[in-house]
């Protein structure tokens, strides 16, 4: 097995976030699932966009956000995801490449357009996401660069991609390629509703040892294990994955590895502006530590630092100099 | 003359800003005009976008930003400007309408695409703008809603629109329509380089009394009058316009009206993040005060409050609740 030349290669939805603040009443009026991610069709996208205030557009996508964080920390990363050949596709491709991430998936011609996520941010900083998957759901298994996957230390996959059929097939193939090359597979559960839809698949992948590193938040842990009590769920799941990382919002995060439990508090921040990308950036910091051989407790701290940065401003991509933040905190 | 039902109708470039921080070296390496607005072609747009870091997209356009500020303060405004029938055109149209501004100019089919402005923000908060005018330069005189212009208390025009031929013709026609209906014409000089190109036109419009309210910054004042000394320029220009408003960056702003001089200092702010839109939002606050019958010194203060808000964050559209800010400051 040759030394990998990429640290993390990720497959994810290629999405541009369309974000605006809103009052709590709007979430209720349109029956949105507060704090969740809901897939929407064209008609609903128009309805919600019409109701949205003046917005800003910032590249997003869960796994892509994670890579943006890792690249900002100095990591060598590659992304696979499907944009359309349109202006938002150009924006997504520009932003990910400008962050120093290798991105070679060709844009898809014609309809549907590039994926966008309408994100309503309530005064408490909570984000409610409405995703129009567009071109992203047509990532063909053939778009996979299996040589690149075999050449990466970690293959990182987002649970969100389990919804559309073509990317799901592509991910299964990617897992086989990574495993065949002796690489690690990291997976993020993404959202409790995704688990409601695909929990059986996720549990099967865990049982068969396909997942080496599993990221979840406390709600997803409960959804996956069926245990509402955090510790019960953690203890039930931990023996099935070599490295389990669970974030708990303001309560910090926990990792389970080799039968041991590691824990960090959340980093203090002045104000939660927008929680979009909190989990994605936690994963960025953690994975950065992991691929660079840091001990688990330090990986957790790195995750907490990156998550704190991203929730202190609008948008799910880091804005501050993450390298400097980490250096200031860890020395 | 019937009572106008719109306070301010503006004609301006319909632009989406593409903004990213950058080091001072990048400005020099690409020979950009620091702090200025340069028109760019497709090739240059590609070259600069390739060199730009991960960016965010926020609706912009000078006069449109001014209306966004006025609408946020509760004003009744309308905008005329040309977008293309594409994703960025949709973004622009959504944002301006979501701000409560009437916008009825139909999108233009086919090439070129909607205008975008590549804005590089250096560590000092200064913005260097590179504008690809695209569809915006094809605003046809026929797109003018002359009834709406006659129905607005003030017609507000940006000097930037003097560059492309069709909008220039449209603006001359708009001025005639406003004047014919007994309305006021407000004009912003926009940029010293625009004055270099079109100063003769601007001076002729001033001499013939077509401009009732003139907005400039200190650099533009010097460029228009040929006087490097601020007070000399001010005294030379003031007798030619009923109301002259000149901003001076951190030195505040001055207005000349009826032979009297009014002055305000800049509002104190914690940190200048991005100066994009400072002049536009100053004009918003000032015009809001003006159309609501406030005395000139209070109009200046309103301008300073709005300018301070917009330079404390990325993007040229207000983010904070301007109404509340103004109420807190003026009671």
Residue with token string 């992991």: A290
Please check whether residue B95 touches A, CB under 8 A: yes
Beta-sheet pairing, A56-59 with B56-59? antiparallel
Q: Which residues of A touch B79 (CB under 8 A)?
A: none
Q: Is B220 on the interface with A (CB under 8 A)?
A: no
User: Rounded to a whole number, what is the distance in Å from the CA of B68 to chain A's nearest CA?
Assistant: 9
What domains are defined for chain A? 6-12+61-111+137-330 (3.40.1190.20)
In a mutagenesis test of the A interface, which of B47, B48, B56 is the best target, namely the one with the most A β-carbons within 10 Å? B56
What distance in Å separates residue B88's CA from the closest CA in chain A? Answer: 7
Please say if the pLDDT value at position A331 is more than 80.
no
Chain B closest CA to A277's CA: distance in Å?
Answer: 15
The terminus-to-terminus CA distance of chain B in angstroms comes to: 34
Per-residue model confidence (pLDDT) at position A222? 97
Distance from CA of A102 to the nearest CA of B (A): 14
End-to-end alpha carbon distance in chain A: 34
Q: Do B99 and A53 touch (CB under 8 A)?
A: yes
Q: Which helix (H) or strand (E) holds A316?
A: none
Rounded to 5 degrees, what angle do the CA atoms A254, A117, B48 make?
Answer: 100
pLDDT tens per residue across span A85-110: 999 999 999 999 999 999 999 999 99
Neighbours of B242 (CB within 10 A): 15
In the sheet with A77-80, reading across from the earlier edge strand, the strands are A102-103, A77-80, A6-11, A152-158, A184-188, A213-217, A243-247, A253-257, A260-264
Query: B95, A317: Cβ pair inside 8 Å?
Result: no
Instruction: Please state, in angstroms and as integers, the Cα–Cα distance from residue A63 to each residue in A14, A109, A221, A307, B305, following that order.
Output: 9, 23, 19, 14, 40
d(CA B284, CA B316) in angstroms, rounded, equals 12
pLDDT higher for B164 or A178? A178
What is the share, in percent, of chain B residues with pLDDT greater than 70?
Answer: 100
Q: What does the pLDDT read at residue B331?
A: 73
B226-244 tens-digit pLDDT: 999 999 999 999 999 999 9
Q: Give the count of alpha carbons within 13 A of A230, CB side only.
A: 15
pLDDT tens per residue, range B30-46:
999 999 999 999 999 99
Put simply, the answer to whether B53 touches A98 (Cβ < 8 Å) is: yes
pLDDT of residue A201: 95
pLDDT at A2 over 80: no
* pLDDT (average), residues A197-202: 96
Mind listing the pLDDT tens digit for each residue in B101-111?
999 999 999 99
**Inter-residue contact A234 to A208 (CB < 8 Å):** no
Q: Does A56 touch chain B (CB under 8 A)?
A: yes
DSSP track, B16-84: EEEEEE--HHHHHHTT--TTSEEE--HHHHHHHHHHS-S-EEEE--HHHHHHHHHHHTT--EEEE---B
Residues of chain A with C-beta less than 8 angstroms from the C-beta of B49 = 94
What pLDDT, on a 0 to 100 scale, did the predictor assign at position A142? Answer: 84
Q: pLDDT band at residue A153, thresholds of 50, 70 and 90?
A: very high
Mean pLDDT calculated for residue range B66-92: 98
Q: Say yes or no: A86 contacts chain B, CB-CB below 8 A.
A: yes
CA angle A131, A133, A139 (to 5 degrees): 145
Among candidates A55, A77, A54, which has minimal Cα distance to A65? Answer: A77
Sign of CA dihedral A155, A159, A162, A163: negative
DSSP-based three-state secondary structure for A51: helix
Q: Is the confidence at residue A330, as pLDDT, over 90?
A: no
pLDDT at B225 over 70: yes
Q: Are strands B77-80 and B102-103 parallel, antiparallel or unpaired?
A: parallel
CB contact under 8 A, B88 and A86: no
For tokens 């809001």, name the residue. B288
Q: In this complex, is the C-beta atom of B94 within 8 Å of any C-beta atom belonging to chain A?
A: yes
Q: What is the pLDDT of residue A143?
A: 84
Looking at chain A, which residue has its C-alpha nearest residue B56? A58
Contacts of B260 (CB under 8 A, 6+ apart): B296
Compute the average pLDDT of residues B115-123. 98
When pLDDT is cut at 50, 70 and 90, the band that residue A51 belongs to is very high
pLDDT for B141? 85
B1 has pLDDT over 80: no
What pTM does this model have? 0.96
Who among B53, B87, B98 is closest to A87 (CB)?
Answer: B87
Give me the numbers of helices (H) and strands (E) for chain A, helices first please.
12, 14
What ipTM does this complex have?
A: 0.94
- Mean pLDDT (chain B) is 96
Least Cα separation, residue A110 to chain B (angstroms): 13
Chains A & B: contacts with CB separation below 8 Å: 62
* DSSP assignment of B205-216: HHHTT--SEEEE
Contact criterion met (CB below 8 Å) for B44 and B50: no
- Position A148 scores a pLDDT of 94
* Interatomic CA distance for residues B19 and B122, integer angstroms: 11
Classify the C-alpha dihedral B77-B96-B315-B216 as positive or negative.
negative
Average pLDDT over every residue of A73-88: 98
Closest CA to B136 of B80, B180, B217: B80
What whole-number distance in Å separates Cα of residue B77 and Cα of residue B284?
11
Per-residue pLDDT at A1 exceeds 70: no
Confidence of residue B329 (pLDDT cuts 50, 70, 90): confident
Structure tokens at B57: 């997209």
Mode of pairing for the β-strands spanning A243-247 and A253-257: antiparallel
Of B299, B297, B305, nearest to B321 by C-alpha is B305
Average pLDDT over residues B198-221: 97
Peptide bond into B281 cis (omega under 30): no
CB A62 within 8 A of CB A13: yes
CB contact under 8 A, A91 and B53: no
pLDDT classification of A14: cutoffs 50, 70, 90 = very high
Selection from A166, A157, A144, A224 nearest residue A184 by Cα? A157
Largest CA distance in chain B: 56
Say whether the peptide bond before residue B22 is cis (omega within 30 degrees of 0): no
């Amino acid at each position: 097995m040759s030394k990998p030349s990429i640290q993390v290669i990720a497959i994810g939805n290629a999405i541009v976030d369309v974000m605006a603040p809103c009052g709590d009443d709007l979430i209720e009026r349109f029956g949105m699932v507060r704090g969740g991610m809901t897939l929407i069709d064209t008609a609903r996208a128009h309805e919600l966009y019409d109701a949205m205030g003046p917005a800003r557009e910032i590249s997003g996508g869960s796994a892509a956000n994670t890579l943006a964080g890792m690249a900002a920390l100095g990591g060598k990363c590659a992304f696979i995801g499907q944009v359309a050949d349109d202006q938002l596709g150009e924006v997504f491709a520009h932003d990910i490449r400008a962050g120093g991430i290798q991105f070679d998936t060709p844009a898809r011609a014609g309809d549907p357009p590039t994926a966008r996520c309408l994100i309503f941010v309530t005064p408490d900083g909570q984000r409610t996401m409405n995703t129009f998957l567009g071109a992203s759901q047509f990532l063909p298994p053939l778009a996979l660069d299996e040589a690149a996957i075999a050449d990466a230390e970690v293959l990182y996959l987002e649970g969100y991609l389990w919804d559309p059929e073509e990317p799901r097939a592509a991910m299964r193939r990617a897992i086989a390629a990574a495993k065949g090359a002796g690489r690690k597979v990291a997976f993020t559960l993404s959202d409790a509703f995704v688990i409601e839809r695909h929990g059986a698949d996720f549990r099967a992948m865990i049982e068969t040892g396909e997942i080496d590193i599993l990221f979840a938040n406390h709600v997803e842990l409960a959804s996956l294990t069926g245990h509402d009590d955090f510790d019960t769920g953690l203890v039930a799941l931990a023996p099935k994955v070599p490295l389990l990382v669970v974030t708990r919002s303001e309560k910090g995060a926990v990792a389970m590895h080799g039968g041991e439990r590691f824990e960090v508090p959340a980093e203090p921040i002045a104000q939660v502006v927008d929680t979009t990308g909190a989990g994605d950036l936690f994963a960025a910091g953690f994975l950065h530590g992991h691929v660079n051989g840091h001990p688990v407790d330090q990986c957790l701290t790195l995750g907490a630092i990156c998550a704190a940065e991203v929730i202190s401003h609008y948008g799910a991509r880091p804005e501050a100099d993450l390298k400097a933040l980490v250096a200031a905190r860890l020395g």
